[in-house]
Amino acid sequence: MSEQKGMEDAGGGGRPYLSNSLPLASNDHFTDYATRMNEAMMGFDWTPVSQLTNDLMDLARDGRQLFLCGNGGSAGNANHLANDFLYAWSKKAGRGIRVQSLAANPAVMACLANDVGFEEVFANQLQILAREGDVLLCFSGSGNSPNILRVLEEAKAMGVKTYSVLAFDGGKAKALSDVPIHLEIDDMQIGEDFQTVIGHAIVQYMFKHRDLLGPDPARGA
């Protein structure tokens, strides 16, 4: 059998699929992952998430701003959820939240990291952009990233209310946050999944209860 024929037979439909490829991954791994994630979240006290939701409803109604930040995968989640809060429900509801991800602009991040240090990349932006009464939502697995701790300190000094979604033992960010949302699990991937679960659940809640928001203050109607 030629190598090309082996690739076609193994993949089906002429798709390239090496005949000596690894065995199919066991379903047990994925079932175990889903089970661990489900068990962690089913045993979670969702009260701080309800607090965050209420604050975001008030924030949207009053025209104040939400700021998001995180590092690595958490930065990706901050950008993702900034999109969802801005547009995912506003395309039907006619409005969204005034929201910015402090991890979204690579030029700003590189400039600040170079000029004032990576520890200041979020705090510096918040100092310029935020106002008293705004809300900061941090995503961090460990809760110990220096730039997360700095932005929490800066927010407190500015009168910006702080929430942090944390995993593991919560780190130093747990004590620095006004309202920590702490999933006690020693798994970075499930901790990051939890960030998006919270965000998506809040987006759906806000869309469902959009009539409570009243007119959009930014539009004056």
The dihedral through the CA atoms of 123, 128, 132, 137 has a sign that is negative
Residue 96's pLDDT is what?
83
Whether 102 and 2 share a structural domain: no
Q: What is the C-alpha separation between 200 and 9, in angstroms, rounded?
A: 42
Whether 162 and 58 share a structural domain: yes
Q: Mean of the pLDDT values across residues 18-27?
A: 77
Whether 66 and 162 share a structural domain: yes
Whether 105 and 3 share a structural domain: no
- Total count of domains within the chain: 2
pLDDT 10s digits, 132-151: 999 999 999 999 999 999 99
86: domain CATH number? 3.40.50.10490
Q: What is the C-alpha separation between 205 and 210, in angstroms, rounded?
A: 8
Confidence of residue 214 (pLDDT cuts 50, 70, 90): confident
Whether 107 and 144 share a structural domain: yes
Structural domain for 9, as ranges: 1-42
Per-chain mean pLDDT for the chain: 90
Instruction: Give ∠ CA 41-162-204 in degrees, rounded to 5.
Output: 50
Residue 153 clears pLDDT 90, i.e. is over it: yes
Residue 88's pLDDT is what?
66
pLDDT 10s digits, 25-71: 889 999 999 999 999 999 999 999 999 999 999 999 999 999 999 99
Rounded to 5 degrees, φ, ψ at 32 are -65, -40
